[in-house]
Structure 1
Amino acid sequence: MELDVLMNGELAGTLGYTAATHRYVFRYSPVWLSRKERYALGPTLPLETGADTTEEQHSAAVRQFFENLLPEGQALDDAASTHKLSKGNLMGLLAALGGETAGALQLRLPGTVATPVPEARRPLSHAELSERIRARPFHPFSVWDGRVRLSIAGYQDKIAVFEEADGQWALVEGGHLASTHILKPEPVAAQLAGLTGNEFFCMRLAHRAKLPVAEVALVRVPEPVLAVKRFDRELSGGRVVRRHIIDGCQALGLSSALKYERPYGDTRDVRDLREGASLPMLFALLEHCPRPAAERLALLRWTLFQVLIGNTDAHAKNLSFYAGREGLTLAPAYDLVCGFAFDGVQLLDTTYAMAIGDAFHAQELSPFEWASFAHACGLPLRQVSIELARMAKRVAESLPGTLEDAREAGVAPALVELLHAIVVTECERQARMAPEIAKVDPALL
């Protein structure tokens, strides 16, 4: 079984699978390798495979990279069921869903590029979207017109759409069209009620705090839907240009099952097995960047913001990089959510997706843990101390404008007040802690 792998419409290579040996292989095309602007799809898929890389190692790296293009959870179940495939059939799923993945990659059966699909726009009205949102308990949200319209990683319900010049949405395919926005309705689960408003608040707070972040809008159809503008798409002259991105798991060469630092859970017997993605691993990646110092600062600020908003789901697949000829560059932030808001009265009794030092809980976070984080990530203690104080101040000063944004968007007043209280508490606590970080004796780390 083989699939052509296209980069923004140009053949970059071929993905192959041999069932008898259960091995995968990826080879760059001669045309791609001859390009002056050629570059690797990611750090784990170099343009030239090292002589010391075994077939098993190469196969594992290829599988891990491409499986991260698939959705997770119920969306993956629905895709497999719709196409009558096993969830473990990576090649079959990529063949079915590979036309609209994250970034610039497209996967197609060989020969289909020579017969391009005609351009098609299928309008999506608010009324139809509302009906489908309400029908989710009976009808998979990712399946439209008998086709899976989603190949974006993550568990949350979402659909990728094209936004017309007049603001109307459409399902598109073929030609130079591709989705430009991702629509995320409220989850079906009652315990996650308010997630769209929560994410809108946190994303707008990041924007006001001057962090690079995806643009969002809260639209009512009348159910609340968060519309996220894709930062891996650029609309130019009626044509959608795709931009190559990879998430943290792809960059690290990890499967999606290892997106959390504690991939086996937080129970007593397994909580010390920290074999998943971690902040030190992500900071080490930045040696692949054209400007390592600038990217380290950007990743540090991303990390600080997660702590200040109480985001307990800031895992490696909720972080992405632009990948190009010069290396990796941190992409805008996305999927910013205050996890503390879903923990009832015990707001701070929650677990971070990736530890700060050895602190997985907010109540464990201390100047020493911040210093331990800095040491493990190769950051000066003084830099972490200064940046934490600055970020806490900036976020606190950005709250009034964010409150106004949320109220104008129709976020429930009780949720707005809860989020405000959580962020104020965290900003004040971290601001008190910040000066003490630089005082930690390096000999203790």
Structure 2
Amino acid sequence: MAQVGEMLGVYLEPTPTESIRVGTLLKDTVGNVSFIVDESYIDLGANRPLLSLALYADTGEEDTISRLRERHNKLGNQDILPPFFANLLPEGVLFDIVESQLPFDQQNAFGMLKRLGADLPGCVVVRSEGTYGQKISDSPNFGNLAGDSAEKSLIKFSLAGIQLKFSMVKTGELLTMPASGEGGRFIVKFPSKEYAFLPEIEYSAMKLAEAAGVEIADIQLLSTAQLKGIDEKFLHIGSQVLCVKRFDRTEDRRIHMEDFAQILGAIGNRKYYVGNIDTEIRIIGRFATQPVSAVLEMIRRLTVDILLGNGDNHLKNTSLIYPNGRTPQLSPAYDIVPTVYFKPDDTLALKFGGKRRFESVSEQQFERLAPFVGVEARVLIKEVRATIDRTNETWPTMFRDLPWPDKVRERLAARWEKLPLVQESPNPFSF
């Protein structure tokens, strides 16, 4: 007995005139989804552009081809897409909004991917390619891809499901929703009813991180009056929004990118425990264009996260970009928020050196990391201390001048004396 399944074509399209077909997503009638890599993509050879590090083996082309042809890491079921594609979709409130705009029979992850396929992160483009005939007996048993784990019930404070954000285009001083089929070059993040002044707080934290030596995404605060085409119900909560320039877009090009949830195959809350910060740094040190520089950048980011109490830097909040389509670089930092202001007992989103509490991380964890990333321990410790020194030089004035509530400043300053990284620094905080 034959039934009809759906097909989506998966492409890499860095420019309007460049298109490389990578493979096909197949959805059967019971909701199972599989990704099959095209032989034409495999035939491009070792210099083919990368869809994901998860599909690449640095042990040689033969191993990469085996990984591309494997099926077990490209499966989804029960409205769960394969991990790489699941992590292309929005989360939380925005997921619900997009889903509500879909026809009833398309209100699922596959239907949403089809709807959003022209403006996904990076240079991935997904297009509907109709249907295919299948036999019911051909449908494989995919198992429980949601997974079971001792930590599956881990409840972690996350802004992803709380803060609304849209991709928009800029015209002069105004930001508008893009026309159908057109991609936005800016991510606009809105105030939250549950968490007051979230755009102002994130902007301030990002600017402090930049002053400490972290490379951040291009950001600015804008008045809600500068937004056009947005439903009024999203504009009455606060007066400002955070505008983030997309680093995966230029005037005429899409730059491929992926986050660590895609690389490590983490779906949903697995972004808090499938990997850890050590894993991220080791992968960056192994594959990045300038590995030592990238590792030290990660050290700066981790130091700043601890100082600011950013407990939301999970696997989706660290990304790699591929400017030449093949060789990864660490993307600019984004989504830096002092979550301890909203939840005083918050912790690191991912473990580092086996520790999750900010107060448990000392220079010892950085020393233990050194042998695994190819950078001497003294160099890592020097970078930690240099980052703290830069905060000493720049943060006192910035803390007073940044547009966040006084209570945020007070709460962050009160916790520093409890942090081992501050206590171990030869030049402890002077404010």
TM-score bucket of the superposed structures, by smaller chain? 0.7 to 0.9
Q: Which moved more, 1:357-366 or 1:28-37?
A: 28-37
Inter-partner Cα distance in structure 2 for 1:374 and 1:154: 35
Structure 1: unaligned runs, 5 residues or longer? 112-152, 262-275, 436-445
Partner Cα separation in structure 2 for residue 355 and residue 208 of structure 1: 25
Q: Does 1:399 align with 2:418?
A: no
Q: 1:362 to 1:249 in 2, by over 3 A?
A: same
Aligned residue in 2 for 1:308: 307
Structure 1 residue identity aligned to 2:212: A
Superimposed CA distance per residue, residues 104-160 of structure 1 (whole angstroms, 9 cap, x where no aligned partner): 22212139xxxxxxxxxxxxxxxxxxxxxxxxxxxxxxxxxxxxxxxxx76521111
Deviation of the 1:423 alpha carbon: 7.9
Task: Work out the CA distance in 1 between the residues paired with 2:371 and 2:197.
Answer: 37
* 1:212 maps onto 2:221 in alignment: no
CA apart distance, 1:199: 0.4
Using the size of structure 1 for normalisation, the TM-score is: 0.72
Give the structure 1 partner of residue 174 of structure 2. Answer: 168
* Kept after mapping to 2: 8 A contact 1:11/1:32: no
Q: Which amino acid is the alignment partner of residue 291 of structure 1? A: Q
Equivalent residue, structure 2, for 1:258: 270
In the alignment, does 2:182 pair up with 1:183? no
Q: Distance in 1 between matches of 2:105 and 2:379?
A: 49
CA distance in 2, matches of 1:74, 1:41: 27
Identity %: 25
* Residue 272 (structure 2) pairs with residue 249 (structure 1): no
**1:359, 1:31 → 2: CA distance?**
41
Aligned in 2, Cα 1:91/1:418: closer, same or farther, shift over 3 Å?
same
Deviation at 1:368, TM superposition (A): 3.6
Aligned-partner residue type, residue 16 of structure 1: L
CA contact (8 A) 1:208 1:402 kept: no
- The answer (yes or no) to whether the contact 1:218–1:224 under 8 Å persists in 2 is yes
1:381 equivalent in alignment to 2:345: no
Shift, 1:247, TM fit:
0.6
Secondary structure, aligned partner of 2:176 = strand
Q: Do the aligned partners of 2:212 and 2:388 also contact (CA within 8 Å) in 1? A: no
**Given the alignment, which residue of 10, 33, 37 partners 1:27?**
37
Q: Which residue of 2 aligns with 1:68?
A: 87
Structure 2 equivalent of residue 279 of structure 1: 277
Say whether the 8 Å CA contact 1:312–1:352 is kept in structure 2: yes
Contact 1:17 1:91 in 2 (8 A): no
Contact 2:313 2:348 in 1 (8 A): yes
8 A Cα contact 1:249 1:256, kept in partner = no
Q: 1:41: how far off?
A: 0.7
Report which stretch shifted further, 5-14 or 323-332: 5-14
Q: Any gaps of 5 or more consecutive residues in structure 2?
A: 1-5, 131-159, 226-238, 427-431
Aligned twin of 1:141:
none
Output one character per residue of 1:375-419: Cα deviation in whole Å (capped at 9) or x when no partner.
665653322321111111112222145336524xxx33x246336
Per-residue deviation, 1:186: 1.1
What does residue 139 of structure 2 align with?
A: none
Partner residue of 2:157?
none
**Contact 1:279/1:377 (<8 A) preserved:** no
Q: Secondary structure at the match of 1:352?
A: coil
Q: CA contact under 8 A between 2:81 and 2:109: conserved in structure 1?
A: no
Shift of residue 234, structure 1, vs aligned partner: 1.1
Q: Which residue of 2 aligns with 1:332?
A: 332
What's the CA shift for 1:356? Answer: 2.4
Looking at structure 2, the residues matched to 95 and 41 of structure 1 have their Cα atoms a distance apart, in angstroms, of 18
Residue 196 (structure 1) aligned to one of 195, 199, 223: 199
State how far apart, in whole Å, the 1-side matches of 2:117 and 2:387 are: 39
| Match for residue 390 of structure 1 among 386, 389, 398 | 386
Report the TM-score when normalising by structure 2.
0.74
Deviations 1:143-182 (A, max 9, x none): xxxxxxxxxx765211110012x2211222367x421111
Q: How many residues align?
A: 363
Query: Greater CA deviation, 47-56 or 64-73?
Result: 47-56
Tell me, yes or no, if structure 1 residue 357 matches structure 2 residue 353: yes
